[in-house]
Amino acid sequence: MSEVKKEPEKINRRSYLKYVGAGVVVVAVAGAGAYYATMPAAPPTTPTTQTVTQAATVTQASPTATVTELPPSQDPIHMNIWAFRPDIVDANSKIFAQQYNDNVKIELVAAGDYNSVVEEKLITKVPMDVFYSGGQYYFRAGRAGWIEDLNTLPDADAIKKDMYPNFLDWLTSSDGRLLGLVYFFEVKCPLANMDILEKAGLADTPPTNYEEIFDQCREIKKKGIVQYPLLADWNPVWNDGPYELYSEYMNSPKGGELFDPKTFEPIFDTNTYLADLLASWKAAYDDNLCTKDIFTLSWGDRQARFSSGQHAFLVCDEPYDMPTYNDPTRSKIAGKASLVPLGTGPDACTSWGTGLIGSYCMTKKDRGPEKTKRVNEFMEFFGWKDKDGNYRVAKEWALQTNLQSGIPAVAEDPDVVKSFISNLPYRKDKDYAILLDITSKCKQPKWFTQYWAIEFIYSLGTWSTKAVSGTVSIKDAITGMRTDAENLIKQYQQ
């Protein structure tokens, strides 16, 4: 039996879209720490049920197993996900269940902070086999010993060979454990409104670093083309302003790592490039290149404003959003939204943004050999290939949602190439080549592997906002960041 719940459709991956299809039980988990997977799901507004034939065969556990194993019909694979396109997850889980004669229960974390909810579940050991993990949280879970080393997967070597080398590095702990498989990849990079740049005579001279972006914005403002040419992603939440700060610092030839890559002691201070970087942000803010409410804009706010055609650069956003910006029914810059290519020369950024991965992680527990085999198959199905040898799940995400995967073969798939280029109408295949260039060259800070990384990211957001707005001096802000870093390191060493 499969329960299918339908919710009103919305347009972005930060929200629910819908529940459709069949093949798994989808349960909404509401509230931090709440766990309702063992309870009947609340009936939807318009109840819809569909019977799906599932496996009913009983597999005996190995005599040496330390747990009593149940058949799939009584012991489904439990997967926790966040609220983006559960219909796609549901459909793929149904295909997995059919291919492997298995049973899956999807638990949707519908309210509260996803990572906090999942972390509480890991601590309290509620039934959970696989879960989404984003940003730096899989490193945190790995350090806590909550997740399996996926080097034990039957096809681990082939999977790792299929990944972008930089992605494999990001998913590997300092002691060599493979912490997850790629669900999706994103890198926030500068997006350009080529209509404004054409009017300013700058279409053929793309900026090669962030200072040049600000300088072009000054030129555009001086010419009176738009009042606020810069739309900056400086909200202090973890994947906005802090992301921009350490990305710019890391990718600049004048910057680098904020922490020593081996000892993880802070190596930034008031005499490093970080002071110049914050000064450039403050100068852009003081020169009114951006609106004064820049620190409070949400992702949706920035998307709406860039679509309005009143900004030359969005610094920065995911190329994932290109279908919105180039859709004439949703955007006034349709056909003119483009990527900023990587430049050359001694002052050029080595890449744009920081690579962030949404991953599939497997909880660490004694399942017994048969359940372990089933969960391994599920992990490989979602994070690599289906039983027929196809990159089914990654390709589906790319075609339906414009999400990138960590596998070059998916990016080179003719259907995927055609789909992505259709959303990049300004330079077409050249814009897609720019996207792949950024993908293969983007980096991730080494200190992301540390248990305190999440807390320090929030510190960066708080202090950078104060410095740019003028609440505190740049010197005091950097001193505050360093003090926070030293205190966090000391705290987690105890």
DSSP string of 291-313, one letter each residue: -TTGGG--HHHHHHHHHTT--SE
**Residue 103 confidence (pLDDT) above 90:** yes
CATH topology of domain 2-184+358-404: D-Maltodextrin-Binding Protein; domain 2 (3.40.190)
Average pLDDT over residues 22-51: 31
Domains 2-184+358-404 and 189-353+452-493 share a fold: yes
Write down the pLDDT at residue 69: 79
Query: What class is the 189-353+452-493 domain?
Result: alpha beta
439: Cβ contacts below 8 Å, ≥ 6 apart: 164, 185, 187, 355, 404, 411
Gap between the Cα atoms of 375 and 378, Å rounded: 5
Q: Which of 171, 175, 116 is nearest to 383 (CA)?
A: 171
Half-sphere exposure (CA, 13 Å, Cβ side) for 300?
A: 6
Write down the pLDDT at residue 73: 81
Instruction: Give tens-digit pLDDT for 74-94.
Output: 899 999 999 999 999 999 999
Domain parsing of the chain, residue ranges = 2-184+358-404, 189-353+452-493
Give the confidence band of 494 by pLDDT, cuts at 50, 70, 90: low
**Residue 211 confidence (pLDDT) above 60:** yes
Gap between the Cα atoms of 116 and 359, Å rounded: 16
Q: Which of 335, 338, 327, 333 is nearest to 307 (CA)?
A: 333
Instruction: Give tens-digit pLDDT for 443-468.
Output: 999 999 898 998 999 999 999 999 99
Terminal Cα distance for the chain, rounded: 50
Write down the pLDDT at residue 70: 79
**Residue 416 confidence (pLDDT) above 80:** yes
Compute the radius of gyration of the chain from its Cα atoms. Answer: 23
User: Tokens standing for 277?
Assistant: 């970087």
Return contacts of 41-47, CB within 8 angstroms, 24+ apart.
41/3, 41/5, 44/5, 44/6, 44/7, 44/19, 45/6, 46/6
Gap between the Cα atoms of 341 and 189, Å rounded: 10
